[in-house]
Structure 1
């Protein structure tokens, strides 16, 4: 019986030891589980941060390319507008030159024509002399008529 009590007490000690070790193992397992969870969350956070950094760099590259494209397009548009303005200024200047030459020619030819003006003035003076002669003749005729009437 002593043997049985000894075995029973050993069995109880074994059970206590078993439960103690089981509870310690469970505590260790929970600690390890928490540690593994922390390590996993840290690793996943690192992966997410790396991915976000990668996305940020790619977004910067896309923005850089788009801004360069739009700036080049805007510059091309500005150059085209400046070229158009330059051409229009040139054409306006050429039109002004043509108008200036034409108006000068026209004025010299038809308005301030020296020979036409000279012939016009000569014709005018001839006509004036004719009109004066006719007026003188008319005056003489009237003078004779008055003299005849007086006699």
Structure 2
């Protein structure tokens, strides 16, 4: 009872305290609501991001194991293909060796007989020796004949010269030119004694008795001219072009074609064994590149706007550097 009386006495103070508490609570209600919303948004965002990151992690692990399985399967198939190619190349090499040995044996035994070819070469060597001996003997005879002809011509020239200069012969009273006491030429002197002087029938005399030499049948060309034989040889000499003139303009292309044809003829297998040389595998993108949480397209966010309708202003951007007047006069006739 005493407690109730004390409370009743303090009723105004208690009512005031309750009213102040309700007033303070009403004043802080909106701030507390905003704080609660902030805490809830942070917590919900954290949980959502954690859940998405967990999903990405699990998807990445699944893709990793699947791609590892696919890669190992592809590698096993590739190893099988390479092993098959190695075996086929080895079989081809062995077949080539067998073909080479058999063809060599067949050619040596049936196509190119070594003993017959040896006898043939021996016969050619004997024939060549006989022909060489005959040609050597004929060359000696021809050289001897040419030497005799040259000696005869020299003798004729000396004899004609001696007949023409027979008046230089020494006499009993007066010695000749070739009988000089300081430098005598006995051989020329003896040749002059043995030869007879030329007759004077080829000379024509005038009325006074002076001889006139008749002109030659073929007049000699005066001046720095070449002989007709040399001109004839110069006109009919064979053509000797340079290497650049004699070489064909398309010699490189022709040589390449000839090399390709020779290679194609010598090749045993025309087509290569490449059944699995081109294997294409489709690319599988990651999960986060397919979802909405991905990067923006290249050039749509950080580049300048290129659409003319979104550009504000009607005038174009004017540069501060004037144009070069020399370019304005290009292709003009003034």
User: What whole-Å deviation, never above 9, does each CA across 1:35-77 have from its counterpart, x for those lacking one?
Assistant: x6x9756532233335533542343233222321221012212
Cα distance in 2 for partners of 1:146, 1:122 equals 31
* Residue of structure 1 in register with 2:117 after alignment: 138
For 1:92, which of 67, 71, 95 is the aligned residue?
A: 71
Cα distance in 1 for partners of 2:128, 2:56 equals 99
How far apart are residue 78 of structure 1 and its match? 2.6
Cα distance in 2 for partners of 1:52, 1:74 equals 33
How far apart are residue 96 of structure 1 and its match? 1.2
Q: Structure 1: which 5+ residue stretches go unaligned?
A: 1-31
More helix by share: 1
* Residue of structure 1 in register with 2:22 after alignment: 43
| TM-score, normalised with respect to structure 2 | 0.29
User: What whole-Å deviation, never above 9, does each CA across 1:71-119 have from its counterpart, x for those lacking one?
Assistant: 10122123213322332222122111101111101221x2111763553
* Residue of structure 2 in register with 1:57 after alignment: 36
Query: 1:1-151, aligned counterparts within 5 Å?
Result: 43-50=22-29, 52-108=31-87, 110-113=88-91, 116-117=95-96, 119-127=98-106, 129-130=108-109, 133-148=112-127, 150=129
| TM-score, normalised with respect to structure 1 | 0.55
Give secondary structure in 2 for the equivalent of 1:116: helix
Cα distance in 2 for partners of 1:69, 1:117 equals 70
Cα distance in 2 for partners of 1:48, 1:134 equals 125
* Residue of structure 2 in register with 1:22 after alignment: none
Go from structure 1 to structure 2 and tell me whether the alpha carbon gap of 1:75 and 1:99 turns closer, same or farther (over 3 Å shift): same
Cα distance in 1 for partners of 2:100, 2:124 equals 36
Give secondary structure in 1 for the equivalent of 2:48: helix
Cα-Cα RMSD:
3.6
Go from structure 1 to structure 2 and tell me whether the alpha carbon gap of 1:60 and 1:131 turns closer, same or farther (over 3 Å shift): farther
